[in-house]
């Protein structure tokens, strides 16, 4: 009894202190003029917790486990959610099938057509010298390389191709990629990281968008090909921003925009880059081998020294009529990619015969500069012929080999616009054997530029081909668009 | 490096700046090839594949310069989408020109007709990437036909039997590795 007394006294003292604390002036609350003691608050909370616990459904295990038969029945009845949304009948894409090489004339579904659907700008598809170089390469090396560049996939022809491209463009070094679109979306994340700032044109195509997304950088878009918008964006990002001086900053543009056929004003971009101290990444898939006096691209076209552009990338599936892509720039820029660019490191190298084809194509361009004059005269002729096409207008640059025809007046619905343009393309193919295509878009593409009919002009097209195209488009668009405009 | 086969010639290189840059020489060394993913030996010239590849190169050239949904689908591309689906027992397949892009753009590659139709309609690499080089397509078609025995020989079965021998692994274990 004597031993228990100190414990009882201590407990009583603690309780007295607690109740004093609850009844003290700080523990009292006034709600609607009524004084509420502290212990009432605690009791209220306890009651709330008890009510919550009682209202919860208690877990009751099934009284009797399910039999095998019942499990099977439940499994048979279960219908999973579809893995992808159903495609509307009208939206299905049934691509025409080619039965011969995709040159200026090709065979589509058994019928010879004039081909304006292939970006065969220099008319090198079917070129005998290129085919011969491919055959000798196939006989010597086989088809595939069976390994990435860093793992027994580097063949002497890859190194020859890299040095050929670098020499042609006047850059210190270049690096080959095995797939055109993976070039840009491997290069951007190799240099641009989280925390960096990228200022990009809102009209860039999906591969560039994917590169921007994969980089995890802060991306700011400027209005399509609008230098005032670019200047104000750069000004906003750098003015009074001390942090901006310490982080990497890039401008990402295409030389000829795949989504519009517009040409980027490189001279102005370089001026702004130097003023605001940004680096430039230039995507040249549609200008390499096309623009400039000797086909060396946008830098030659504007007379800008190539060393002022930090990184240049291009796919070789257009003017060079082969496959794969390349990136060119300083030795440091190229060397960095050999260990840091995912598309280079984690992919089998370019098949040797395609690298041989690229070398032969560049040689052909150097030996036959007249092919560029043919291409330019064809583009000019097409612009002239299509200038008065009913319901359609040319929105591309006069020197662009992508001649972009958009509706003069949109219906207000992109789906209806696309349907109209698809109808024009289908009728031109079926009725006049003229193969043209629309600029289809994935639902993952964030580019908001208007869709249109995209014509790829080739140096291999004749005047007759172009007049056949223009007369077909004029006739078909007049009949298709008459109900709308 | 020259020619992917059971052996290849490795080009010797020299450096004047402690391997910062390397220059090729005219010397080569013949090496046993244990470093390529050439499991069934189709990479080097093949009696069935190579003539057909050269034939397709002459017919279709090295590239279509177009995307699959525009002017980049040849009869070969359609055939190659049918063959692997049949080979693995699936209803449909979709073809990409690069394994890295296949993996990064889509995971469900050979699942069902609806999935494939959906990918053909909305998968960006299918809509925006230049279609696979026709001779490369022909090479894969020919290789699959050899494996399936549709070339009229039993070479495919022999290749598969040879790779299943695991000769190198067995010998290495015998030698105490």
pLDDT tens digit sequence for A30-47 = 555 655 556 677 778 888
What's the pLDDT score for residue A281?
96
* Nearest CB partner across the interface for B66, out of A119, A147, A441: A119
A139 chain-B contacts, CB cut-off 8 A? 45, 50
More confident residue, B39 or A446: B39
Substitution target in A120, A146, A359, A433 with the highest count of B β-carbons within 10 Å is A146
Nearest to A185 by CA among A148, A212, A162, A149: A212
Residue A151 burial (CB < 10 Å; 0-12/13-18/19+)? middle
Percent of chain B past pLDDT 90, that is, above it, reads: 14
Window 164-223 of A: residues touching B by CB (8 A cutoff) are 178-182, 205-207, 210
Percent of chain A past pLDDT 70, that is, above it, reads: 86
Separation in Å, CA of B36 to nearest CA in chain A? 5
CB contact under 8 A, A98 and B60: yes
Query: Rounded mean pLDDT of A105-114?
Result: 89
Band of pLDDT at residue B11, cut at 50, 70 and 90: confident
What's the pLDDT score for residue A87?
62
Q: Which two tokens stand for residue A122?
A: 């220099």
Q: Where are the domains of chain A?
A: 105-121+369-482, 128-367
B97 chain-A contacts, CB cut-off 8 A? 179, 323
Distance CA B126, CA B96 (A): 7
Chain B residue at shortest CA distance from A158: B1
B78 chain-A contacts, CB cut-off 8 A? 97
Q: What is the mean pLDDT of chain A?
A: 85
What's the pLDDT score for residue A360?
95
The CATH code of the domain at A105-121+369-482 is 3.90.1150.10
What's the pLDDT score for residue A56?
66
pLDDT above 70: residue A231: yes
Chain A residue at shortest CA distance from B107: A83
B125 chain-A contacts, CB cut-off 8 A? 181
Query: Rounded mean pLDDT of A431-441?
Result: 89
CB contact under 8 A, A98 and B64: yes
Query: Rounded mean pLDDT of A214-218?
Result: 88
CB contact under 8 A, B130 and A180: yes
A123 chain-B contacts, CB cut-off 8 A? none
| Low-confidence winner among A401-405, A452-456, B158-162 (lowest mean pLDDT) | B158-162
* Nearest CB partner across the interface for A347, out of B38, B78, B99: B99
pLDDT above 80: residue A424: yes
More confident residue, A120 or A430: A120
CB contact under 8 A, A84 and B43: no
More confident residue, B1 or A428: A428
State pLDDT tens for residues B75-110.
899 888 878 888 888 888 888 787 766 666 655 433
Task: Judge whether A300 and A294 are in contact, CB under 8 Å.
Answer: yes
What's the pLDDT score for residue A460?
94
pLDDT above 90: residue A271: no
State pLDDT tens for residues A367-388.
989 999 989 899 999 988 898 8
CATH of A128-367, one of 3.20.20.70, 1.20.1250.20, 3.40.50.300, 3.40.640.10: 3.40.640.10
Give yes or no for A97 touching B (CB within 8 A). yes
Percent of chain A past pLDDT 90, that is, above it, reads: 45
CB contact under 8 A, B100 and A347: yes
Q: What is the distance in angstroms between the CA of the first residue and the CA of the last residue of chain B?
A: 29
Query: Rounded mean pLDDT of A228-240?
Result: 88
């Amino acid at each position: 009894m004597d031993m228990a007394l100190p414990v009882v006294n201590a407990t009583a003292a603690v309780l007295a202190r607690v109740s004093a604390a609850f009844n003290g002036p700080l523990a009292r609350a006034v709600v609607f003029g009524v004084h509420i003691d502290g212990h009432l608050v605690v009791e209220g909370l306890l009651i709330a917790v008890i009510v919550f616990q009682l209202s919860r459904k208690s877990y009751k295990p099934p009284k009797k486990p399910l039999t095998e038969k019942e499990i099977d029945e439940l499994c048979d009845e279960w219908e999973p959610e579809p893995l992808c949304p159903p495609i509307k009948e009208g939206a299905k894409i049934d691509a025409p099938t080619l039965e011969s090489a995709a040159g200026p004339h090709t065979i589509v579904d058994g019928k010879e057509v004039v081909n304006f659907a292939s970006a065969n700008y220099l008319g090198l598809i079917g070129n005998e010298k290129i085919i011969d170089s491919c055959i000798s390469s196939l006989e010597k090396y086989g088809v595939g390389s069976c390994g990435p560049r860093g793992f027994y996939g580097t063949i002497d022809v890859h190194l020859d191709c890299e040095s050929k491209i670098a020499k042609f463009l006047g850059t210190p070094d270049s690096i080959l990629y095995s797939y055109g679109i993976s070039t840009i979306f491997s290069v951007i994340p190799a240099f641009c990281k989280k925390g960096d700032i990228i200022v990009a044109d809102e009209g860039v195509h999906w591969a560039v968008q994917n590169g921007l997304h994969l980089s995890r950088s802060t991306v700011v878009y400027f209005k399509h090909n609008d230098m005032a918008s670019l200047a104000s964006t750069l000004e906003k990002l750098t003015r009074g921003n001390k942090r901006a001086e310490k982080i990497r900053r890039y401008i990402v543009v295409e030389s000829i925009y795949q989504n519009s056929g517009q040409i980027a004003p490189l001279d102005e971009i370089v001026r702004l880059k130097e003023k605001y101290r940004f680096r430039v990444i230039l995507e040249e898939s549609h200008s390499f081998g096309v623009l400039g006096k000797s086909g060396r691209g946008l830098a030659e076209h504007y007379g800008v020294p190539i060393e002022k552009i930090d990184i240049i990338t291009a796919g070789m599936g257009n003017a060079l009529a082969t496959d794969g892509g390349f990136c060119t720039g300083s030795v440091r820029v190229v060397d960095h990619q050999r260990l840091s660019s995912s598309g280079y490191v984690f992919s089998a190298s370019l098949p040797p015969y395609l690298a041989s084809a690229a070398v032969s194509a560049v040689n052909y361009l150097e030996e036959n500069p007249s092919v560029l004059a043919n291409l330019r005269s064809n583009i000019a002729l097409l612009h002239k012929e299509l200038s008065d096409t009913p319901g359609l207008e040319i929105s591309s640059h006069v020197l662009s080999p992508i001649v972009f025809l958009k509706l003069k007046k949109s219906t207000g619905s992109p789906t209806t616009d696309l349907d109209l343009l698809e109808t024009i393309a289908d009728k031109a193919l079926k009725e006049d054997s003229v193969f043209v295509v629309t600029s289809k878009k994935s639902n993952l593409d964030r580019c908001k530029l208007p869709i249109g009919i995209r014509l790829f002009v080739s140096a291999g097209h004749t005047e007759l081909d172009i007049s056949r195209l223009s007369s077909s488009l004029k006739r078909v668009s007049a009949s298709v668009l008459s109900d709308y405009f | 490096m020259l020619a992917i086969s059971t052996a290849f010639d490795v080009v010797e290189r020299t450096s004047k700046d402690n391997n910062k840059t390397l220059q090729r020489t005219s010397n080569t060394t013949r090496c046993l090839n244990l470093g390529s993913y050439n499991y069934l030996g189709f990479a080097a010239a093949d009696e069935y594949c190579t003539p057909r590849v050269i034939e397709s190169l002459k017919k279709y050239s090295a590239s279509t310069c177009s995307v699959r949904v525009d002017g980049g689908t040849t009869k070969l591309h359609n055939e190659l989408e049918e063959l692997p689906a049949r080979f693995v027992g699936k209803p449909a397949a979709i073809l990409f020109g690069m394994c890295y892009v296949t993996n990064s753009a889509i995971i469900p590659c050979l699942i069902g007709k609806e999935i494939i139709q959906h990918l053909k309609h909305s998968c960006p690499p299918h809509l925006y990437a230049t279609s696979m080089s026709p001779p490369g397509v022909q090479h894969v078609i020919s290789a699959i036909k050899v494996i399936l025995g549709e070339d009229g020989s039993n070479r495919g079965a022999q290749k598969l039997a040879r790779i299943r021998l695991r000769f190198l692994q067995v010998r290495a274990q015998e030698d105490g590795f």
